[in-house]
Amino acid sequence: MAGVRAGATTGRVLIRGGRDTLLGLVVAVITCALLFASRGLFRQDSWLALVAGREIWNSGVPHHDTLTALTAGRDWVDQQWLAQLGIYGLYRLGGLSLVSAVHVALVSGSLAAAIAIGRRRGTETSTMLLVLVVGALLVLVPSLVVRTQPYAYPLFVATVYLLSADSRSSSRRVYWTLPLLVLWANVHGSAALGAGMVALRGLTILLERTEDGGRRWRPGAALIVGAPVALLATPYGVDAVGYYRDTLLNPDFNRLVAEWKPVTAVPVAAAVYFTLAGLALWSLGRHPGRLTVWERTVMLVLLAGGILALRNVVWVELMLLMLPVIALGDRGARTEARPRLNQALALLAAMAVVAALAVDLARSDRDFERSYPAGVLKAVGRSANADPTITVFADVRFADWLLWHLPQLEGRVAFDARFELQPPGALERLARALTATGIDWKRPARGYRLVVLTPSDVKEAARGFRAEPGRRILFDDPDGLVVLRSARASLLSVG
């Protein structure tokens, strides 16, 4: 099993030497923390992955939306289809506990691989400990949700390793980045980042002079042309271009979607990020020769990307671990190896990881849904069974969770977490509906008899729907509200 193998690998890494033991211990602590926190890792993106995976399992790769009402019939480029299918397959094999365990293994395994590459590249242990401990938050923030993004972490690490190695000593192995990109393009939208890194390596190859003064144009051209072509090697072909446009260039995402906001939206993460970014820039200025042209350029691009979107900070942390970017000396790590102590620490860390994994795998599916009131599901299920035509206006937290448990609601829920499907201006209107902003804030909910909200998140909207004349409160607590609206009130758009 992936988690057990990860624990054993961690143990072997810990035994290697006195200085690297602390690195392995930190990874083990992060692994245990994620495993013990796994009950809270399932949120809207998790349920979306499961719902989409089930759809693919039953009906094949989708091309038009059939899940939600507001976007019914619109083109759906499910770029993450392979990761979603994998997540659903894991669920069928071992339930939500196995899904969470693999999620943690991907995060921790990618961290361990990045550390191993960084040590091989010559990064000092004390520097790596600083980056790992201080920057752990940059990995944890985007990884505290079970979703498709961590399935791209190993692909990112492998791609950077191949490109970095080629920038130091050219080799035909760099061509392996192209099939990696094909796989990545079917797993997660961050494949656009991978394609950019590969194309950039192609450009730097074209600019490099060989010993005889010539230029190696063939490998450079192959990478420049092959990178964008690899992004199209999906069931959607050229239609994938529209997906990347609608996500990467959507101005509403930066304003309205939390993980697409700048890193400054989370002050603690911003403080950590700018601390590490400042150290990286300072070190690049002092020791430019530690990195190749490709490595320096990619590092600067990633640092800029991390500022623009919170979801990008994880790539910066992995890159800082992999490359000798920050140079602070190694004064704090000049201790002799203590084999017995290292073995004892390795054993304790491996035992802790295995114990945490056993606890995680022993949990029932319901344990991972503690923050989702069972009363909400019962109330919505009864109403949907009593009236097969009833439609549901649910906030993004509940939408895909309801679709997961009540497949009969397919096409009857207003919207879900696939924000890229919304036409221009729709996200703004939905945001106004959930914040009760403006006179006509209820307009997106017009015609929807059943309203499902999280009162603790959208207090004003919850208050407005509770106050409607003729409504029936089917369930109400701080974590969930279900309101059955009267036919007349559901047709009004004013608050």
Q: Is the pLDDT of residue 173 over 80?
A: yes
| Residue among 365, 347, 336 nearest 11 (CA) | 347
Q: Any idea which of 61-75, 215-229, 398-412 has the lowest mean pLDDT?
A: 215-229
Angstrom distances, CA of residue 480 to CA of 109, 371, 373, 457: 36, 9, 7, 10
> What's the predicted TM-score (pTM) here?
0.91
How confident is the model at residue 213, as a pLDDT?
53
400-443 residue pLDDT tens? 999 999 999 999 999 999 999 999 899 999 999 999 999 899 99
58 is written with which tokens? 């039953």
Q: Is 265 exposed, middle or buried (0-12, 13-18, 19+ CB in 10 A)?
A: middle
Q: 2 falls in which pLDDT band (50, 70, 90)?
A: very low
Contact of 296 with 284, CB cutoff 8 Å: yes
110-139 residue pLDDT tens? 999 999 999 888 888 888 888 999 998 888
The average pLDDT across 13-22 equals: 56
Q: Any idea which of 207-216, 334-343, 410-419 has the lowest mean pLDDT?
A: 334-343
